[in-house]
Structure 1
C-alpha cells in the first residue's frame, strides 16, 4: 500500500509553519533545517527537495510576516468619512493582531534583525519595510478620498510615521507586556494622526 504523495505546496506550508514554531521557541539564529524537519515530522531530505536553501525559506517567512501585517493594516473596509475613526480602526486592527500572536511578532522582529546581519539577505529587510510603508500610504490615500481631506504633510511621511509608531509600540509591549499603557498610547496615536488632516480646499 502506497501513502498518498503530499503536494510540494503543502510541504512548503508545513515546513514554514514548523519553522515559525521552532523560531518562536529557540530564536531565529538557533533554528536549523534539522530542527525544522523534526518539528514537521519529516526527513531532512524533504527540506532540500522543497526549498533550494535556508535562504529561500527565510524569504518566504519574511513574505508571510509582511502579509500578516498588511492584512491587519488600515484598508478600505475600515475607512469611514471620519478620519479619526479610520485611524483608530486601523491602528486597533494591527494591535489586535499583534496582541493575539505575540510569539509571531517576536519572530518577525528577529527575522528582520537576522537578515540585516546577513549580506546576501539584507535586501529582504529593506523590501519588507518598503511594503509596510507602501501599504500604509495606500490606506492613507483611501482615507483622504473617502473623507475628502488633505494632509498637512506628505502621505509618504505619515505612512512612515504611522508604521514606525505601531512597530515601536508593539516591540515595547513585547518587552514589558503592559497592555493598558500600550492601548492608551494607541489612542493618543490616533488622536495625533487625525490632526494631520484638514478639509480639502480650506
Structure 2
C-alpha cells in the first residue's frame, strides 16, 4: 500500500472535519469524530496536527484558498474589468453551489468561535484571510487589465467580501439561482465603477 504523505493526510482530515461540522455542528467535531470520518487511527491525527484548534485554523485557510483559486482561474480570459469581476463572482458562486455543506460549516464555525473564548481570534483571522485573498485578486485583475483602482485596495476588498457574504447567505437560505445571478450582475457593475481606465486609453481620450 502506498504511503500517504503528511500533507495529504492533513487535507483529508480537514475535509473530514468540514463534513462533521456540517452534519453534527462544531461541538460534534471532536478529534475522535473527525478521525472516524476520515477512516484513520487517532494516532495519525496527533502525528500531523498538534491539536484540534490547529486543525480548525488549517480548515479556514484551506477553504479560503480553494475559493481564491476558483476566482483566480478566470483572470486570463477577461478583456474588461466588469466581465472579469462577473466571471470571478460566478466561479466563486459555482463553488458554493457545488459544495453548500462546506459553506454552512464555515458559518457554523464562525458563530461558534464568536461564542468561545479559546477561539475568539478565529473570526478575525478568518476575515483577514478573506480580505487578503480578495485584495490579491483585485490587484491581479488590475495588473492583468492595466488599470488602477480609485479607492484603497483594502477598502475595495472588504466591499467585495461583503458582497460574497450576502450572496452566499441569501442563496443558502432560498437556493434562488436567478436572484443570485442578478446580485452578481449588480455587484460587478458597482465594483467596476471604482476602476480607472488604462493610461493608454486616458491619453487617447485627451488627444481625440
TM-score (norm 1): 0.84
Verify: 1:23 aligned to 2:21, yes or no.
yes
Whole-Å separation in 1 of the counterparts to 2:26 and 2:111: 10
2:206 is matched with which residue? none
1:101 is matched with which residue? 99
Structure 1 residues 74 and 190: alpha-carbon distance in aligned structure 2, compared to 1, 3 A threshold: farther
Answer 1 or 2: which has greater helix percent. 2
Q: Output one character per residue of 1:74-104: Cα deviation in whole Å (capped at 9) or x when no partner.
A: 4673463411111111111111111111111
Q: Output one character per residue of 1:155-185: Cα deviation in whole Å (capped at 9) or x when no partner.
A: 2211110111011211111111111111111
SS of 1:29 mapped into structure 2: helix
Verify: 1:163 aligned to 2:172, yes or no.
no
Task: Identify which range, 151-160 or 7-16, moves more after superposition.
Answer: 7-16
Q: Output one character per residue of 1:82-131: Cα deviation in whole Å (capped at 9) or x when no partner.
A: 11111111111111111111111111222222223333323232222222
**Structure 1 residues not aligned, in runs of 5+:** none
TM-score (norm 2): 0.82
Whole-Å separation in 2 of the counterparts to 1:176 and 1:155: 32
Structure 1 residues 129 and 73: alpha-carbon distance in aligned structure 2, compared to 1, 3 A threshold: farther
Q: How many equivalent pairs are there?
A: 200
Q: 2:145 aligns with which of 120, 136, 147?
A: 147
**Residues 20, 107 of structure 1: 8 Å contact kept:** yes
